[in-house]
Amino acid sequence: MKVQAITTRKFLPPKDNLWDLLSAIKTLKERSVVAVTSKVVAIGEERCIPIGSIAKDELIAQESDKYLPRELSLNKWTIYTIKNNLLVATAGIDESNADGYYILWPKNPAFSARKIWQFLRKKFQLKNLGVIITDSRVTPLRRGVLGMAISYFGFKPLKDYRGMVDLFGRRFEMETTDIADCLATAAVLEMGEGKEQQPLTLISNAPVEFTEKVNKKELRIKLKEDLYLPLFESILKR
């Protein structure tokens, strides 16, 4: 698998042309996966709020599906939220590389991923193509951020081992691989977190199954079935 970040011009909030930015992709091969950071997708959709026009905590509450108030976090430095069935800080709202704006997530990330897929597939006349919209998140008990796919299109995001057997004939009962987030992590590593100006990444030879019949809920798991349910109980009570 090859992962290559693409350097682009500055993408300027509160509104810029995403389709023009995607022109930084000069060639795209069949069976590629394109990762696009959520920030440029949000700016393309004018999902930017001037800092100072609203209290950040109020904005986080508006953008969250569920949240814990700031006073319940360590040193009151962040707000823990669930948005689009993902556990993230501050509902994904970001101030870095934002030039005085709060940048939100795309309004409908699944729809945005499909639009990008349609645009690139038509432009490069491809049959098999994948798209991921990425962001960064922290993992409990680990320092540093990893990539995640807040949405995807064009490929199956989950590899299911259930029903298969391992090297010694033991049957898998629960094992699945989250391909979308694995690819997002590789892409975010190449994109960087600072001023690299690399919001696009091309992934070739990825071990994915391409399809146009994408189930956008395939990666989702109900909170009450989640392995970490005990840690979520305080959120579920809200």
- Per-residue model confidence as pLDDT tens digits over 71-122: 887 778 889 899 999 999 999 999 999 999 999 999 999 999 999 999 999 9
234 falls within a domain = no
Residue 234 has pLDDT above 80, yes or no: no
- Per-residue model confidence as pLDDT tens digits over 120-135: 999 999 999 999 999 9
The DSSP line for 184-234 is: HHHHHHHH-SSS----EEEEES-S--B-S---TTTT---GGG-TTHHHHHH
65 and 121 assigned to the same domain: no
Residues of the domain holding 42: 2-46+106-220
Residue 209 has pLDDT above 60, yes or no: yes
Kindly tell me the sign of the dihedral angle through the C-alpha atoms of 73, 181, 97, 119.
negative
235 falls within a domain = no
What pLDDT shows up at residue 174?
85
Considering the chain, what is the average pLDDT of its residues? Answer: 93
**Residue 205: band (very low, low, confident or very high) from pLDDT cuts 50, 70, 90:** very high
Last residue of a domain, one of 30, 65, 94: 94
126 falls within a domain = yes
22 and 84 assigned to the same domain: no
82 and 164 assigned to the same domain: no
**Residue 203: band (very low, low, confident or very high) from pLDDT cuts 50, 70, 90:** very high
Residue 52 has pLDDT above 90, yes or no: yes
pTM of the predicted model as reported, rounded to 2 decimal places: 0.93
Whichever domain contains 144, its CATH number is 3.30.1330.100
- Give the integer Cα–Cα distance in Å for 3 and 189: 9
Most confident of 14-18, 215-219, 234-238: 14-18
180 and 62 assigned to the same domain: no
- Give the integer Cα–Cα distance in Å for 12 and 25: 18
Residue range 201-212: average pLDDT? 96
125's torsion region: left (phi>0), alpha (psi -120 to 50) or beta? left
- The domain total for the chain is 2
- Give the integer Cα–Cα distance in Å for 173 and 171: 6
164 falls within a domain = yes
Residue 69 has pLDDT above 70, yes or no: yes
Residue 236 has pLDDT above 70, yes or no: no
150 and 38 assigned to the same domain: yes
For the ranges 1-10, 51-60, 159-168, 225-234, which has the lowest average pLDDT?
Answer: 225-234
87 and 186 assigned to the same domain: no
Q: Which helix (H) or strand (E) holds 90?
A: none
The DSSP line for 66-79 is: EE--GGGSGGG---
83 and 171 assigned to the same domain: no
Q: How many CB atoms lie within 10 A of CB 232?
A: 15
- Determine contact, residues 102/116, Cβ cutoff 8 Å: no
232 falls within a domain = no
229 falls within a domain = no
69 and 160 assigned to the same domain: no
DSSP designation for 62: H
119 and 158 assigned to the same domain: yes
66 falls within a domain = yes
Two tokens at 71? 């006073």
26 falls within a domain = yes
117 and 82 assigned to the same domain: no
- Give the integer Cα–Cα distance in Å for 72 and 230: 16
Q: Position 118: which residue type?
A: Q
139 and 195 assigned to the same domain: yes
- Determine contact, residues 38/133, Cβ cutoff 8 Å: yes
Query: Measuring CA to CA, which residue among 61, 189, 206 is closest to residue 134?
Result: 189
20 and 123 assigned to the same domain: yes
- Give the integer Cα–Cα distance in Å for 135 and 96: 12
